[in-house]
A and B are shown apart, each in its own frame.
Chain A
Amino acid sequence: MKISFVLRESAGGLRRNLSMAISVILVTMISMYLLGLGLLANRQVDTMKDYWYDRVQVSVFLCVEGSQYPSCAGKATTQAQRDQIRTQLEQMRPPVKDIFYESQADAFKRFKEQFKNSPLGEQATERAFADSFRVSLTDAAKYDVIVSSFQGAPGVGRVQDQKQLLDRFFAFMNVVSWGAIALSGLMIVAAILLMSTTIRQTAFSRRRETGIMRLVGASNATIQLPFILETVVSSIVGSALALALLYATVHYGVSGYLSKALLDTAFIGTGDVFAIGPIILGGVIALASVTSWFTLRRYLRV
Chain B
Amino acid sequence: MILFDQVTKTYPNAARPALDEVSMEVERGEFVFVVGQSGSGKSTLLRLALREERATRGTVLVAGRDLGSLPDRRVPLMRREIGTVFQDFRLLPGKTVYENVAFALQVIGKSRAVIRQTVPETLRVVGLSGKEKRFPHQLSGGEQQRVAIARAIVNKPTILLADEPTGNLDPATSDGIVSLLDRINRSGTTVMMATHDHSIVDNFAKRVVELAQGRIVRDQAEGVYGTSTSALPGEGETAADDTPTRTLRLPRLGRSTRDAGAAE
Question: Which residues of A are interface residues toward B (Cβ below 8 A)?
Answer: 1-2, 5, 208-209, 211-220, 222-223, 302
**Cβ contact within 8 Å between B92 and A209:** yes
Contact of A216 among B72, B73, B75, B104 (CB under 8 A): B104
**Cβ contact within 8 Å between A302 and B50:** no
The answer for the CA separation of A248 and B126 in the assembled complex, in Å, is 62
Closest to B77 in A: A217
Interface string of B170-199 (1 = CB under 8 A from A): 000000000000000000000000000000
The answer for the CA separation of A302 and B79 in the assembled complex, in Å, is 11
Nearest 4 A/B pairs, CB to CB:
A217-B80, A217-B79, A218-B107, A216-B104
The answer for the CA separation of A290 and B227 in the assembled complex, in Å, is 57
Range class of the B interface residue count: 20 to 34
Closest to A219 in B: B76
Chain B stretch 119-142: residues in CB contact (< 8 A) with chain A: none
**Cβ contact within 8 Å between B109 and A216:** no
**Which B residues touch A5, using CB under 8 A?**
106-107, 109
**Which A residues touch B82, using CB under 8 A?**
217
The answer for the CA separation of A222 and B50 in the assembled complex, in Å, is 19
The answer for the CA separation of A220 and B72 in the assembled complex, in Å, is 9
B78 CB within 8 Å of chain A:
yes
B84 CB within 8 Å of chain A:
yes
Also in contact, A216 and B107, with CB within 8 A (given A302-B75, A302-B76): yes
Also in contact, A216 and B155, with CB within 8 A (given A2-B106, A302-B76): yes
Question: Which residues of B are interface residues toward A (Cβ below 8 A)?
Answer: 50, 72-73, 75-82, 84, 90, 92, 103-104, 106-109, 151, 155
Would you give 7 A-B contacts (Cβ < 8 Å), ordered by A?
A215-B90, A217-B82, A218-B76, A219-B108, A220-B72, A220-B76, A302-B75
Also in contact, A216 and B78, with CB within 8 A (given A1-B109, A5-B109): no
Q: How far is the CB of A293 from chain B (nearest CB, A)?
A: 15
The answer for the CA separation of A302 and B107 in the assembled complex, in Å, is 14
Q: How far is the CB of A180 from chain B (nearest CB, A)?
A: 43
**Which B residues touch A212, using CB under 8 A?**
90, 92, 103-104, 107, 151
**Cβ contact within 8 Å between B50 and A215:** yes
The answer for the CA separation of A207 and B26 in the assembled complex, in Å, is 31
Also in contact, A216 and B80, with CB within 8 A (given A2-B109, A222-B107): yes
The answer for the CA separation of A214 and B103 in the assembled complex, in Å, is 12
Also in contact, A211 and B90, with CB within 8 A (given A1-B109, A5-B106, A217-B108): yes
Closest to B155 in A: A216
**Which A residues touch B80, using CB under 8 A?**
216-217
Closest to B75 in A: A302
**Which B residues touch A222, using CB under 8 A?**
107-109
**Which B residues touch A215, using CB under 8 A?**
50, 79, 84, 90
**Which B residues touch A216, using CB under 8 A?**
79-80, 103-104, 107-108, 151, 155
**Which A residues touch B108, using CB under 8 A?**
216-219, 222
**Cβ contact within 8 Å between A217 and B76:** yes
**Which A residues touch B109, using CB under 8 A?**
1-2, 5, 222
Q: How far is the CB of A220 from chain B (nearest CB, A)?
A: 7
**Which A residues touch B92, using CB under 8 A?**
208-209, 212
Interface centre among B77, B81, B107, B151 (most CB of A within 10 A): B107
